[in-house]
Amino acid sequence: MQETQQNHGVIRRALRFTGSVQGVGFRWRAIHAANAVGATGWVRNDYDGAVSMEIQGTEEQIDQVILAIERGTYVIIENLSAKTIPVIEGERSFVARD
């Protein structure tokens, strides 16, 4: 099954953003950008002021979402950590989590 996913170019990344990322429309922008490019997953504010995200799609889709978030007027990403994690089969949307 893993080979099929790789053949289609679908990957899943766990991302963590720090900087000026809460209270600046980050999650809203992430949801709209992910939906626009067809990526799936979730985004949430963390207790320590960071934002966590799991996003699934092609490398290009994921890059497009991150670029759209960075274009936010008040968003300042100081650090981004990324880790590739297993794809979730059947996931169909990108949502905000509490």
Exactly one of 16, 35, 44, 45 is catalytic; name it. Answer: 45
Q: In this structure, what are the phi and psi dihedrals at residue 24, rounded to the nearest 5 degrees?
A: -130, 15
By three-state DSSP, how is residue 40 classified? strand
The predicted pLDDT at position 72 comes to: 84
Assess whether 35 carries a catalytic annotation.
no
Give the integer Cα–Cα distance in Å for 54 and 84.
10
**Is 85 within 8 Å of 13 (Cβ atoms)?**
yes
Range of the domain at 48: 2-96
90: pLDDT strictly greater than 80: yes
Count how many domains the chain has. 1
**The domain spanning residue 75 has which CATH number?**
3.30.70.100
Give the integer Cα–Cα distance in Å for 16 and 9.
22
What is the average per-residue pLDDT within 25-38? 97
pLDDT digits (tens, 9 = 90+) for 32-79: 999 999 999 999 999 999 999 999 999 999 999 999 999 988 999 999
Assess whether 79 carries a catalytic annotation.
no
DSSP states along 9-31: T-EEEEEEEEEE-SSSSHHHHHH
Exactly one of 27, 29, 35, 92 is catalytic; name it. Answer: 27
The predicted pLDDT at position 1 comes to: 39
